Structure formats: structure tokens, C-alpha cells
């Protein structure tokens, strides 16, 4: 399978809560739209320090990540960030790799938005069509 990219918008969830409480106006919510590399081998959202700072995301903890090829690297994990793709959204923590040039959209946020990579078209699509499917168990 080749390289698949898709446009996503990352939103500071804490800022969103402040708008709901009337503490800040909607236009002050920190967000960024970017082209992410879809990596089904990655678990979550991977961002760099520059994106973390632009979004104003707080670091929750520092730990170690296992990168491709089994290489271990120090990383930080942020508070929850909202990820939007077209009419879908999900929230997850982001892993910050300071010098990472690519923003990676991993399996967890893809699953959270009911998305998959279409192998022939090499693009992100709804796993169950264009309608968001909600499963309640």
C-alpha cells in the first residue's frame, strides 16, 4: 500500500469547553488544519512540538515510544485533542515527538471516526459508508 494522506483539523478541546461555558468566544478556539499521513501501524495521533504549542496542548506525562524498526524514543503525551475529518470527529491524546516532520493519524482515531483506508483508491473513507455509524453495546 502506498502513502495515504488526508486533511484533518485538530482542535484544543479545553478551549472548546471554555466556549461552552462562555469564557472565550468561538473564534479564539485554537485549531489547525493540516495534511496528516495515515499510519494504520501507529496507535494514536502523533504530532510535533510546534503543533502542540500552536494548539496550546498541555503535557500530561513523559514516557517512551517505540518507533518503526523498534527504535525507542522519549515522548510526551498531551491532554485530549479533538480530531475532525469532514463531518466526523473524535478525541484522543496526542503523542509528541519533538522533531517529527510528519503528523501521523493512527488506528485509534481512525476507528473513533469509523474510518478506514480504501486499498485500491488509496484514500480514507467511511468504514461503513458515508453515514457515521454509532454502535451501542
How many Å apart are CA 49 and CA 30, to the nearest integer?
15
Q: What is the CATH code of the structural domain delimited by 5-126? A: 2.40.70.10
Contact 38, 105 (CB under 8 A): yes
pLDDT at site 134: 60
Q: What's the CA gap between 129 and 7, in Å, rounded?
A: 18
Quick check: pTM over 0.75? Answer: yes
Cβ burial 39-70 (10 Å sphere, 16+ → b, else e) = beebbbbbbbeebbeebebeeeeeeebeeeee
Confidence at residue 135, expressed as pLDDT on a 0 to 100 scale: 59
The pLDDT mean for the chain works out to 90
Amino acid at each position: 500500500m502506498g502513502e495515504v494522506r488526508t486533511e484533518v483539523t485538530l482542535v484544543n478541546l479545553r478551549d472548546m469547553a471554555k466556549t461552552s461555558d462562555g469564557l472565550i468566544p468561538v473564534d479564539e478556539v485554537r485549531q489547525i488544519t493540516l495534511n496528516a499521513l495515515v499510519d494504520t501501524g501507529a496507535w494514536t495521533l502523533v504530532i510535533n512540538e510546534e503543533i502542540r504549542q500552536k494548539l496550546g496542548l498541555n503535557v500530561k506525562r513523559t514516557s517512551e515510544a517505540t518507533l518503526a524498526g523498534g527504535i525507542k524514543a522519549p515522548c510526551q503525551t498531551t491532554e485530549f485533542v479533538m480530531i475532525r475529518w469532514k463531518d466526523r470527529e473524535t478525541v484522543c491524546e496526542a503523542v509528541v515527538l519533538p522533531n517529527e516532520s510528519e503528523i501521523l493519524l493512527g488506528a485509534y482515531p481512525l476507528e473513533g471516526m469509523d474510518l478506514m483506508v480504501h486499498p485500491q483508491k488509496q484514500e480514507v473513507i467511511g468504514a461503513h459508508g458515508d453515514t457515521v455509524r454509532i454502535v451501542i453495546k
